[in-house]
């Protein structure tokens, strides 16, 4: 384990007061963001019916921060996966790590979907919800098993894909990275580099250097988290508010109750069963969970999730660099388990379609096996349409729920990211690889950054 040695003649700095810590800065930013969002929402649109200057400022600030994070995702995934595969050869239990990771992905997803089904049957949101806004939009994308299979095969070596959107008669085309395809490409390149042998040494050395540079830039961006939090959370409040929850209050309550049970009961119980402190886990994973909540992007949070899993929770880099990116594309207890289970039951109840044991088994199957279908597409909406299609339920039901989807997405993404950090921590503990001393230390970002300086 690498240690940090103070420079000669330098005074040893004492612990920072809480108000000067990064954690306090983020908490303060959340309060400021909520306040500014409330002010922006009460100001209302300008004379032309456009968002006011404060809403525009908050939206721009938040979107720039997310863009900075997302810009780091492709090089981080590629370099980290390639490096982790080359480093896994140094571990005698590499195969066990891979299979245990996939197994625990499935176990936690199965527990989450059972909770979702139970809450859907007990609360019955499709029966108890009030009138639904007529302005609810139809889904812009529909998931299918064919899309999932096609999405596994890269269309090009960079994992690039073009998305065209028609709005008001004007078509806009954007280029983006298909995260699932990029993951496949990275795994293939990493394995090929191992097979080539010594001739790949220079490539692997360059990859390590690029990974180190990407990590350094990452920490510069992470330092901007308080500013990004103000923009993201403030814009969410200004744009959506909480009034829309009144129309689907029981449905929203069921979703957030399920997310809370998974995050605050299931995850801590699994940690305790493995001899780990839940408080230390949440202290270490907080930067990633908080950023996931305000950004609503597991992929955008990926750099932070991987960093806290390794530097704060004590998971070895060789394993964390493989497990966390894999989890960011396939491990989604919020979007792919709790949400589609409760939503499918809501749609069935709303349209009066009875569900039997076979349908509930299908919900569990789709949630556990089909999670990767959300990667690189449109997240929970694709997962929900995939579930409804499999069950033969009306896809028009998705449009009923999109009115409050941004509000639900904050909680879903936070649970997704918490699970993406949880599973590598549990597997590392089970394999005797977890740095327990590092896990037991405070999870403040300053300690993580100090580790990154000497990585």
Helix extents (H) in 312-404: 317-330, 339-351, 357-369, 380-391, 397-401
At residue 159, the pLDDT reads 64
If one compares 382 and 115, the residue with the highest pLDDT of the two is: 115
Q: How confident is the model at residue 139 (pLDDT cuts 50, 70, 90)?
A: very low
If one compares 398 and 152, the residue with the highest pLDDT of the two is: 398
Say yes or no to pLDDT of 375 above 60.
no
Read off the pLDDT of each residue in 179-203 and give the average, rounded to a whole number.
Answer: 85
Read off the pLDDT of each residue in 337-350 and give the average, rounded to a whole number.
Answer: 87
Read off the pLDDT of each residue in 240-263 and give the average, rounded to a whole number.
Answer: 81
At residue 181, the pLDDT reads 77
Say yes or no to pLDDT of 53 above 60.
yes
pLDDT digits (tens, 9 = 90+) for 57-94: 998 998 888 888 778 878 887 888 888 788 777 666 77
DSSP letter string over 263-305? Answer: IIIIHHHHHHHTT--HHHHHHHHHHHHHHHHHH--HHHHHHHH
* pLDDT above 90: percentage of residues in the chain: 19
Domain chopping of the chain, boundaries: 21-448
Pick the CATH number of 21-448 from 3.90.400.10, 3.30.450.40, 1.10.3860.10, 3.40.50.150: 1.10.3860.10
**Alpha-carbon distance 424 to 427, whole Å?**
5
Read off the pLDDT of each residue in 292-297 and give the average, rounded to a whole number.
Answer: 81
At residue 90, the pLDDT reads 67
DSSP letter string over 171-234? Answer: EEEEEEE-HHHHHHHHHHHHHHHHHHGGGGHHHHHHHHHHHHHHHHHHHHHHTTHHHHHHHHHH
Most confident region among 19-23, 354-358, 373-377, 382-386 by mean pLDDT = 354-358
Report the half-sphere exposure of 137 (CA within 13 A, side-chain side): 9
pTM of the entire predicted model: 0.76
The lowest-confidence range among 251-255, 303-307, 367-371 is 367-371
At residue 422, the pLDDT reads 95
């Amino acid at each position: 384990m690498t240690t940090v040695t103070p420079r000669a003649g330098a005074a040893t700095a004492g612990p920072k007061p809480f108000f000067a810590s990064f954690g306090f800065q983020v908490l303060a930013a959340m309060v400021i963001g909520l306040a500014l969002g409330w002010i922006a929402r009460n100001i209302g649109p300008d004379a032309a019916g456009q968002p006011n200057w404060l809403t525009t400022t908050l939206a721009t600030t938040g979107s720039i921060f997310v863009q900075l994070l997302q810009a780091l995702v492709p090089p981080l995934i590629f370099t980290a996966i390639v490096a982790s595969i080359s480093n896994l050869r140094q571990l005698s239990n590499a195969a066990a790590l891979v299979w245990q990771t996939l197994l625990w992905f499935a176990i936690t997803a199965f527990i989450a979907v059972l909770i979702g089904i139970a809450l859907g049957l007990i609360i019955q949101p499709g029966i108890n919800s009030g009138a639904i806004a007529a302005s609810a939009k139809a889904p812009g994308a529909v998931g299918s098993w064919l899309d999932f299979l096609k999405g596994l095969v890269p269309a090009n070596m960079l994992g690039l894909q073009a998305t065209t959107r028609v709005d008001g008669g004007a078509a806009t085309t954007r280029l983006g990275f298909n995260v699932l395809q990029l993951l496949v490409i990275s795994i293939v390149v990493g394995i090929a580099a191992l097979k080539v042998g010594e001739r790949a040494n220079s490539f692997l050395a360059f990859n390590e250097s690029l990974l180190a540079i990407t990590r350094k830039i990452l920490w510069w961006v992470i330092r901007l988290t308080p500013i990004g939090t103000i923009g993201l959370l403030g814009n969410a409040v200004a744009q959506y508010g909480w009034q829309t929850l009144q129309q689907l209050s029981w449905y929203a309550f069921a979703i957030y109750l399920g997310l809370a049970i998974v995050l605050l009961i299931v995850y801590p119980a699994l940690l305790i069963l493995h001899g780990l402190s839940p408080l230390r886990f949440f202290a270490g994973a907080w930067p990633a969970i908080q950023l996931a909540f305000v950004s609503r992007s597991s992929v955008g949070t990926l750099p932070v999730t991987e960093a806290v899993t390794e530097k704060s929770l004590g998971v070895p880099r060789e394993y964390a660099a493989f497990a966390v990116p894999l989890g960011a594309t396939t491990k989604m207890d919020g979007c792919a388990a709790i949400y589609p289970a409760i939503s499918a039951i809501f749609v069935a109840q709303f349209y009066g379609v009875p569900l039997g044991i076979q349908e509930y088994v299908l919900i569990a199957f789709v949630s556990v096996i089909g999670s990767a279908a959300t990667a690189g597409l449109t997240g929970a909406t694709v997962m929900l349409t995939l579930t409804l299609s499999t069950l033969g339920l009306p896809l028009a039901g998705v449009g009923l729920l999109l009115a409050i989807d941004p509000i639900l997405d904050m909680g879903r993404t936070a649970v997704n990211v918490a699970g993406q950090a949880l599973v590598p921590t549990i597997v590392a503990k089970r394999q005797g690889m977890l740095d327990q001393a590092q896990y037991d230390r405070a999870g403040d970002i300053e300690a993580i950054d100090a580790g990154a300086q000497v990585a």
